Each structure stands twice: as structure tokens, then as C-alpha cells.
Amino acid sequence: MQPKIVRYQSDSRLSRVVTHNGIVYLAGLTADNRGATMKAQTEEVLKKIDELLKLAGSDKSRLLSAMVYVSDMRLKSQMDEAWIEWVDSNNAPVRACVETRLGTADTLVEIMIVAAQ
């Protein structure tokens, strides 16, 4: 029997969370308040991550990897500030941060997470 794949908050385009074989995959998450600073957008995204990890039976101490996309590398220090305040420093994941054009001009950060259940 193959391990079960469970999808949460799905629509015809994507699932926000997929679990398989003890691993939690989160879709790229962005802030709703796009008028906010990079730090505030990051804080909002990290709160969403906490909520989705809980839904999947996990939490930030179980992070395996994070992919962070920022619209402007000159603002990366603001994202890092929010990240450092949030991340479990005893269980930090591998992480990459890449500058790219995001879905809208006022989206400053998008984060994808993989975690253990």
C-alpha cells in the first residue's frame, strides 16, 4: 500500500498544504496586507506558516527547508529581522533567499516551507 497523500485548502489551481509520508509541503505564501513593509509582510507570512503547519500536525521546530523569495534584495535585512525573531534557533532549517519579481508589484516576500510532521 502506498503512503497516503493528504491535501488541505485546495482549489482547482493548488493546495496550500500537502502531506505525504511524514513530510509537510506548504505552497508559497504571501501577505494579504501588501501596503506593509517587508518586515511586516514577512511577519504576516510567518503567522500563516504557523497556522498551516498546525493544520498539518507540525510546527516550526520541525522545519526542514525554506525558500524565501524577495522582490528587492536591498530590503532583505527586514525579512531577516522578522525571520530571526520567529524561527526556532535550535531547529533552524536550511534556507535560501532569492530576489525575483513576485506576483504583484506590491508583494515584497513569498515563502515556501517543507517540514516534518
CATH number at residue 90: 3.30.1330.40
Distance CA 55, CA 103 (A): 26
Task: Give residues with Cβ within 8 angstroms of 96, minimum separation 6.
Answer: 66, 67, 68
Q: Which domain holds residue 88?
A: 5-116
Can you tell me the mean pLDDT for 98-106? Answer: 97
Domain total for the chain? 1
Can you tell me the mean pLDDT for 109-115? Answer: 98
Q: What is the pLDDT of residue 2?
A: 81
Q: And the C-alpha cell for 21? A: 509520508
Can you tell me the mean pLDDT for 54-76? Answer: 98
Query: Has residue 3 got a pLDDT over 90?
Result: no
In order of 8, 16, 25, 75, 117, the CA distances from 55 in angstroms are 8, 11, 12, 31, 10
- What stretches of 1-117 adopt beta strand conformation (E)? 5-10, 15-20, 23-29, 63-70, 94-99, 109-116
Distance CA 57, CA 42 (A): 22
Can you tell me the mean pLDDT for 24-41? Answer: 98
Q: Which residue has the cell 505525504?
A: 20
